[in-house]
Amino acid sequence: MFSKKPADHPRQTQGRPMTSSTFSVFGADTAIKGDVSASADLHVDGRIEGDVTCASLVQGESSEVVGAIRAESARLAGTVRGSITARELVILRTARIHGDVHYDALTIEQGASVDGRFAPRRVSDEAAPEDAEPRLTLAN
């Protein structure tokens, strides 16, 4: 009835096996040298020296990425020194971007700083529908 040996199967929550988190956080005290690649969504408050590839990226105001960013969606509030390629990109007013920006849908808040070129993603950049038009939104 009561066993002291560990369970042979993963814990379950509401009938489903518990799996690893799909969201990773790099805190403000974290500094990483090297490329970061994740199938998870990332929240970065620290510093990354290397390329970042993920499904979704949220960058905090005090964070810095020195390298290229590739994501399906990105919400940037800190400093980026490198190119950015994202299907949906939001550049917040506190963001400082030093590099080229490739996007399908782009929103830029008033006060954001971008030192680089803007260009819609090419079909060769990512598999994008041929009839998809790039969108640009300016936010107040």
74 close to 105: Cβ distance less than 8 angstroms: no
Pick the closest to residue 96 from 72, 61, 71 (CA basis): 61
Cα 127 to the center of its chain, rounded Å: 18
Number of other residues whose CB lies within 10 A of the CB of residue 18 = 10
What pLDDT is recorded for position 21?
56
What pLDDT is recorded for position 23?
82
Per-10-residue mean pLDDT, the chain, length 140 = 49 46 86 93 96 96 98 97 97 98 96 95 55 62
Cα 65 to the center of its chain, rounded Å: 11
Q: Radius of gyration (Cα) for the chain, nearest Å?
A: 19
Task: Record the pTM.
Answer: 0.74
